[in-house]
Amino acid sequence: MASDRKSVPNDLSAFWMPFTANRQFKKAPRMFVAADGMYYTTADGRKVLDGTAGLWCCNAGHNRPRITEAVQKQVAELDYAPAFQMGHPKAFELANALRDMAPEPFEHVFYTNSGSESVETALKIAIAYHRARGEGSRTRLIGRERGYHGVNFGGISVGGIVNNRRHFGTLLTGVDHLPHTHLPEKNAFTRGQPEHGAELADELEDIVALHGAETIAAVIVEPMAGSTGVLLPPKGYLERLREITKRHGILLIFDEVITGFGRLGSSFAAEHFNVMPDMITCAKGLTNGVIPMGAVLTTNAIHDAFMQGPEHMIELFHGYTYSGNPVASAAGLATLETYREEGLFENAAALAPYWEDALHSLRGLPHVIDIRNMGLIGAIELEPIEGASTKRAFQAFLDAYEKDLLIRTTGDIIALSPPLMISKGEIDELFGKLSEVLKNLE
Ligand code: PXG
């Protein structure tokens, strides 16, 4: 439609784009200029089905009226209030709403502006918590191979995505890693949680034996690893990790930046798997991606350990200019209301079996070597082109875009995570387009 066309700048050189092949992009730019419901509009007027909820964040879909209005109203009423030693009502209201939505032990909310900042915050709280209780020797942090915990120094240190680490020097000291849980030779084409691999959690015992429990502050994992290409926790794995950490006085942090806010059909993965960590990091779906915001949820035990000493003293020397920003808080409140009113988590849970069947129907198409799923998440792993890893999946991404479908790729894995408002018809549209792409892929 000619009326939908929007002009785009001729000069694209100034913007150094994040996690993007800048030179390739600028030769053949892909620009979204509008979005509504399940669809983006491109600069040349095409409607593109959003198979990824933006970057795993627009869980309620796009241009949702309640959220748009709340942001518009808030910015005119109170645009900014100082975050330190001052407050405003909506930050407290949203913290209460998050507490009410989260599983029972999570009683307190520390605000950040992104998933990366939530991770840094949780790691710092973990170390400071032990210190506040007189266990200052607990400073080591344990992550996992293939883990993604954002891009700041703490997050890439505990993270395990090699390209995100290798260019950036020595990182944090005192970090160790659990093995990842990807066992394709045993678990390929599993629907939901794989059978094999729970024993990989026992590697934590070796790490404890090596360093001494009294030196370890926390273990951080994604309950379901998203960015690395959707790796589900093997049955019993998270339970074992919880048992071992608890036995050694080590805090367990679930990084729920992707799994939070309905992605698996429940509020958080902690609830879905019924395994309660000591802290949850979140962001993305908290505000439907509309205004940047993240949060760390903690238990009473962690929070209360800081609430001692003279009352005029700051208890935690940490925070951001935009922690609990009024416009972000308004967006967050409206987002949680939208999830509740429209039953979007329930919709995700109800559609998950249909989604699973549609996804696994791609088995047998050229180059498909594994398919994995849970909730409204899917991954299709492709056989890499010899000597040119990532190229095949990137080509699938470009071809899908030409067919008016947005997917994500990481390595040679296609990841799917649509808005939770998706219908059966749109699931059919998504997999219909994707199977055409895969059938024609070299
Ligand atoms: N932790 C986890 C588990 C994440 O998935 C972050 C932290 C960092 O969040 P911020 O808001 O700082 O980006 C993330 C982010 C992808 C993709 O396509 C995933 C993320 C971000 C962008 C793309 O897999 N995850």
Distance 325 CA to ligand 1 centre (A): 21
Task: Please count the other Cβ atoms lying within 10 Å of the Cβ belonging to residue 32.
Answer: 16
Q: Which helix (DSSP H) or strand (DSSP E) does residue 279 occupy?
A: strand 279-282
CA distance 15 to 21: 12
Task: Classify each residue of 392-412 as buried b or exposed e, where b means 16 or more C-beta atoms within 10 Å of its C-beta.
Answer: bbebbbebbbeeebbbbbbbb
Sequence ranges of the domains in the chain = 2-60+343-439, 67-341
The atom of ligand 1 lying closest to the CA of 150 is: 8
Query: Hunting for tokens 């339970």 — which residue is that?
Result: 239
Residue among 17, 50, 55, 164 whose CB has most ligand 1 atoms within 8 A, to mutate: 55
- The token pair at 66 is 């309640």
Indicate whether residue 150 lines ligand 1 (CB < 6 A): yes
Task: Provide the pairing of β-strand 175-178 with 140-144.
Answer: parallel
The SS3 call for residue 40 is strand
Distance 70 CA to ligand 1 centre (A): 25
Residue nearest to atom 23 of ligand 1 (CA): 55
Domain 67-341 fold: Aspartate Aminotransferase; domain 2 (3.40.640)
pLDDT tens for the 442 residues of the chain, in order: 445 566 788 899 999 999 999 999 999 999 999 999 999 999 999 999 999 999 999 999 999 999 999 999 999 999 999 999 999 999 999 999 999 999 999 999 999 999 999 999 999 999 999 999 999 999 999 999 999 999 999 999 999 999 999 999 999 999 999 999 999 999 999 999 999 999 999 999 999 999 999 999 999 999 999 999 999 999 999 999 999 999 999 999 999 999 999 999 999 999 999 999 999 999 999 999 999 999 999 999 999 999 999 999 999 999 999 999 999 999 999 999 999 999 999 999 999 999 999 999 999 999 999 999 999 999 999 999 999 999 999 999 999 999 999 999 999 999 999 999 999 999 999 999 999 999 999 8
Distance 2 CA to ligand 1 centre (A): 35
Residue among 259, 284, 377, 408 whose CB has most ligand 1 atoms within 8 A, to mutate: 284
Indicate whether residue 258 lines ligand 1 (CB < 6 A): yes
Residue nearest to atom 19 of ligand 1 (CA): 227
The SS3 call for residue 181 is coil
Residue nearest to atom 10 of ligand 1 (CA): 115
CA distance 278 to 129: 11
> Which residue intervals of 5-47 are DSSP H helices?
22-27
pLDDT given at position 248? 98
Residue nearest to atom 4 of ligand 1 (CA): 257
Domain made up of 2-60+343-439: CATH architecture: Alpha-Beta Complex (3.90)
- Nearest-CA neighbor of 165 among 178, 189, 182, 146? 146
Distance 82 CA to ligand 1 centre (A): 27
- Nearest-CA neighbor of 281 among 120, 100, 416, 157? 120
List the beta bridge partners of residue 219: 142, 252
Distance 209 CA to ligand 1 centre (A): 32
Residue among 180, 227, 279 whose CB has most ligand 1 atoms within 8 A, to mutate: 227
Indicate whether residue 181 lines ligand 1 (CB < 6 A): no
Indicate whether residue 226 lines ligand 1 (CB < 6 A): yes
Contact between residue 294 and residue 282 where contact means Cβ atoms under 8 Å apart: yes
CA distance 197 to 234: 5
Indicate whether residue 114 lines ligand 1 (CB < 6 A): yes
Please give the model's pTM, rounded to 2 decimal places.
0.97
